[in-house]
Amino acid sequence: MRHTIPVDQIGAPGPAMVRAIEACVHCGFCLPACPTYRLMGEEMDSPRGRILLMKETLEGELRIDEAMPFIDRCLGCLGCVTACPSGVAYGELVTPFQAYAEARRTRSLASRMQRLLVRETLPYPGRFRWAAQLGKLVRPFSRWLPHELRSMLSLLPKRLPAARPLPALYPAAGQRRARVALLAGCIQQALAPEINWATLRVLSKNGVEVVIPSNQGCCGALLMHSGEDERARRFARRNLDAFPKDVDAVLTNAAGCGSGMRDYGLLFKGLPEQAAAEAFAQRVKDVSAFLDELGIQPPAPLPQSLKLAYHDACHLAHAQGVTQAPRHLLASIPNLTLVEIPDAELCCGSAGVYNIEQPEIAQRLGRRKAESILQTGAEAVAAGNIGCLVQIRAHLERLAQPLPVYHTFEILDRAYRA
């Protein structure tokens, strides 16, 4: 496909976007891997359809507001990248395009309010706690609110666990084998603080000393994938300064955060921080991949046998290519049987703030994922991303099948403490 996209103008698309567009040969291998195409069956709701829309928009053949309803329905799960035989870097196209379009599109007042609330609360655990309490008071009156705000209220948990601040340093137990830094995360600290503590205990048990920089902040992934690139860069700059360089790796235990931090090079493309951002991104690893490479100390058997379904978070499996490491770690636990989920490669519908901005599609995908999990006969579910955990738990409860839902490292922690 020969392009006529202007790439030499300030604010115009860059060469990476052009390469991604040109690489697509419209073969159709992406179609069965795309959750929205599987649900809706519309060409413009598929990756190759969206690529065509972006191309025509950038060439001035289509207005941005005509294309964006279809682009907005993209989950950014990158399942198409895994399936594509031509190596189309869809992420290098859709993420910059969203930033390009955000500055030029038209949004309703309710949509602007929704995005304001998201960017001013979700990246800040303290603010999120306050907003969750306020949301409980507003929820009885939600039927009078725009649907954009109702969707946010519907996702609030009934209660939040007590805050559990993290230490600056968590020492290795016994001989130190590695020294790492850990991203604490934002929403995860408020919704499930035990995940970080389980991660610290498991790493310590395996001889890993963990530094938790006190001046770190949000990774910026939610904003990056929402077209808020400048705000995302503010968070990223803070982390580039906050995380020490004298560690073996910068670890994340949330797939979306890890994917976002590994994209810092793309976020700072053409800017003075690009080299530093790329170097930082190369040191970022998911905690499961790091521990699997390091080698795990044998866990104790679980007190009772457990049939566990493992869910592949999209930004772990597709964006980071990490699929086997979590399975290796879980399979090392005696008395645990790991089972695979049908259509495991399809997104659960959480996808950052997707279940806020596209609640109807997110609900259909969440129900589909929950039904697939129940088909396995599993007694519990594990995943490596807080958004997936919240989404899967909610939809299992809606099906009146409230299976326990854990982070991978919570299961490992249970085995070590057995």
Say what the pLDDT of residue 347 is: 95
Taking residue 86's Cβ as centre, other Cβ atoms within 10 Å add up to 12
Round to whole Å and give the CA distance between 388 and 382.
10
SS3 track for 40-74? HCCHHHCHHHHHHHHHHHHCCCCCHHHHHHHHHCC
From residue 92, give the alpha-carbon distance in Å to each of 87, 278, 378, 402: 12, 15, 37, 38
pTM of the predicted model over 0.85: yes
- Single out the residue of 269, 266, 297, 265 nearest to residue 283, CA to CA: 265
The list of the chain residues with pLDDT below 70 reads 1-14, 16, 148-149, 151-152
Q: Which residues lie closer than 8 Å to 400 by C-beta, 6 or more apart?
A: none
Say what the pLDDT of residue 151 is: 67
Round to whole Å and give the CA distance between 189 and 179.
22
Say what the pLDDT of residue 308 is: 98
Round to whole Å and give the CA distance between 358 and 152.
11
Say what the pLDDT of residue 108 is: 86
From residue 418, give the alpha-carbon distance in Å to each of 175, 256, 302, 315, 405: 22, 30, 6, 31, 19
User: Where do we find the tokens 């910068």?
Assistant: 250
Round to whole Å and give the CA distance between 225 and 151.
19
- Single out the residue of 346, 356, 366, 386 nearest to residue 257, CA to CA: 386
Round to whole Å and give the CA distance between 379 and 305.
10
Indicate if the alpha-carbon torsion angle 67, 95, 220, 8 is positive or negative: negative
Round to whole Å and give the CA distance between 50 and 72.
10
Say what the pLDDT of residue 14 is: 64
Q: What is the pLDDT of residues 183-203, one digit of tens each?
A: 999 989 999 999 999 999 999
User: Are 172 and 208 in contact, with CB atoms under 8 Å apart?
Assistant: yes
